[in-house]
Amino acid sequence: QKEVEQNSGPLSVPEGAIASLNCTYSDRGSQSFFWYRQYSGKSPELIMFIYSNGDKEDGRFTAQLNKASQYVSLLIRDSQPSDSATYLCAVRGPGTYKYIFGTGTRLKVLA
């Protein structure tokens, strides 16, 4: 089992819809969770981070964390074609400087 798992996609949603991206992790002691967006040929850029159970909202983005079930999700409301990218989930474990990344989910927003 991979430490951080994401569905590789592509996930296709129509413009204006809600895109839901999911990530599961294996280390129950993981502390911090990050969502990065990566456009083709570019470097990852931070979208959201969360470390407490529940929801965290920032504009059109909502991160949801459920530590009991060991999953973290990212919701993108009112999806735009410019949201088309690969979304990387990253998890920071306890007592470590390491970040473990999932393989990413490719999102395609159809105009």
Give the interface with other proteins as residue ranges (CB under 8 A): 8, 31-32, 34, 42-46, 49, 51, 88, 90, 92, 94-104
Residue in the block written with tokens 């919701």:
75
Dihedral of CA 46/64/61/102: which sign? positive
Nearer to other proteins, 7 or 17 (CB): 7
Least separation in angstroms between CB 99 and other proteins:
6
CA within 13 Å, CB half, 70 = 13
Least separation in angstroms between CB 23 and other proteins:
11
Nearer to other proteins, 18 or 46 (CB): 46
- Peptide bond between residue 94 and the one before it cis (omega within 30 degrees of 0): no
DSSP 31: -
Nearer to other proteins, 20 or 32 (CB): 32
Nearer to other proteins, 11 or 17 (CB): 11
d(CA 88, CA 25): 13
Least separation in angstroms between CB 68 and other proteins:
19
